[in-house]
């Protein structure tokens, strides 16, 4: 690793930070899903346990490393 | 495995929740991009805004692109610039001006950095901002020059030229290293 790369190293974010940011995104996702036609298959999951379970499943998967994270 | 382009296209065609997988893939890297430039606290605060902006703008993403990182870094860059303008305006109680965020980065590093690292930081600070951006996208975010060009909205050849000049300027400080 070069000195320049070392200069850019940062601590990885806390899981709660990533969760909070994803929660903000989920609000936007849910709003768009709610705005779609009720006949669409995705409609029932919005804002309901299925959507949350999907988010939790995704959150529980291992995340790729940031090349600059120590 | 679906590419980022596949997922983003699917998210734009009736499955908006598919976008969350793109976020999962790149959230640590995008947070790192923000933290390296604005500090950890600001990165924590701004990450969600990056996702919302990206989600809202996903219709403009070219699904032929397998890797969404250059696009996401471009959005993160815009979020950072807005953050710096707002911060500067708040601090000075005046209209935002062009901001050079590297001052903040050097301040962040000074407390813990050794003398040689500070020397390197100062050399980077002395670079023209457009050269510095290309250099750091390649060195810190591990992008290719072409991907860095996509982040910045410039031709790939321009990015390569800027990278070449930045490396040449830093060569005396980085003597012996393969930057």
With CA atoms as reference, the chain A residue closest to B23 would be A22
Judge: B51–A68 Cβ closer than 8 Å, yes or no. no
B92 phi and psi, to 5 degrees?
Answer: -100, -5
Could you tell me the residue ranges of all domains in chain B? Answer: 1-99, 101-179
Q: Which of A7, A37, A49 should one mutate to test binding to chain B, selecting the residue with the greatest count of B CBs within 10 A?
A: A7
Looking at beta carbons, which residues of chain A come within 8 Å of B43?
13
Distance CA B109, CA B93 (A): 27
Residue A6 has pLDDT above 60, yes or no: yes
Looking at beta carbons, which residues of chain B come within 8 Å of A64?
25-26, 28-29
Coil/strand/helix, residue A69: strand
* pLDDT tier, B62 (very low <50, low <70, confident <90, very high otherwise): very high
Q: How confident is the model over A4-23, as a mean pLDDT? A: 92
Domain membership of residue A26 (yes or no) is yes
Residue A32 has pLDDT above 50, yes or no: yes
Q: Could you tell me which CATH number the domain at B101-179 has?
A: 1.10.10.10
The whole-chain average pLDDT of chain A stands at 73
Instruction: Say what the pLDDT of residue B50 is.
Output: 98
Q: Which of A25, A37, A53, A59 should one mutate to test binding to chain B, selecting the residue with the greatest count of B CBs within 10 A?
A: A25
Looking at beta carbons, which residues of chain A come within 8 Å of B121?
7
Is any Cβ of chain B less than 8 angstroms from the Cβ of A32? yes
CATH 1.10.1740.10 correct for B1-99: yes
Which pLDDT tens digit goes with each residue over B109-137?
A: 655 556 778 888 889 999 999 999 999 99
Judge: B17–A66 Cβ closer than 8 Å, yes or no. no
Judge: A8–B55 Cβ closer than 8 Å, yes or no. no
* Of B37, B58, B19, the residue nearest B139 (C-alpha): B37
Looking at beta carbons, which residues of chain A come within 8 Å of B26?
64
Residue B108 has pLDDT above 80, yes or no: no
Domain membership of residue A21 (yes or no) is yes
Out of B16, B139, B141, name the one closest to residue A33 (CB). Answer: B16
Is any Cβ of chain B less than 8 angstroms from the Cβ of A26? yes
ipTM (interface predicted TM): 0.79
The whole-chain average pLDDT of chain B stands at 88
Q: Higher pLDDT residue, B90 or B39? A: B39
The range of the structural domain enclosing residue A21 comes to: 12-32+45-60
Instruction: Say what the pLDDT of residue B47 is.
Output: 98
CA distance A58 to chain B (A): 7
Number of domains in chain A: 1
């Amino acid at each position: 690793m070069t000195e320049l790369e070392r200069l850019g190293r940062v601590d990885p974010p806390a899981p709660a930070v990533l969760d909070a940011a994803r929660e903000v995104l989920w609000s936007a996702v849910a709003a768009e899903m709610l705005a779609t036609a009720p006949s669409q298959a995705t409609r029932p999951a919005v804002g309901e346990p299925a959507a949350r379970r999907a988010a939790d499943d995704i959150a529980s998967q291992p995340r790729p490393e940031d090349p600059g994270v120590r | 495995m679906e590419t980022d382009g596949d997922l983003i296209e699917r998210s734009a065609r009736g499955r908006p929740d598919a976008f969350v997988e793109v976020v999962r893939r790149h959230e640590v890297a995008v947070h790192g991009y923000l933290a390296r430039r604005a500090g950890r606290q600001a990165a924590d605060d701004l990450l969600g805004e990056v996702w919302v902006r990206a989600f809202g703008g996903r219709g403009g993403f070219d699904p032929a692109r397998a890797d969404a990182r250059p696009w996401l870094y471009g959005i993160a860059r815009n979020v950072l610039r807005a953050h710096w303008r707002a911060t500067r305006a708040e601090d000075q109680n005046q209209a935002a001006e062009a901001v050079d965020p590297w001052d903040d980065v050097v301040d962040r590093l000074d407390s813990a950095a050794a003398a040689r690292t500070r020397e390197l930081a100062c050399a980077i600070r002395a670079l023209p901002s457009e050269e510095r951006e290309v250099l750091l996208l390649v060195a810190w975010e591990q992008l290719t020059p072409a991907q860095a060009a996509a982040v910045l909205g410039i031709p790939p050849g321009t990015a390569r030229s800027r990278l070449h000049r930045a490396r040449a300027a830093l060569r005396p400080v980085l003597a012996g290293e393969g930057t």
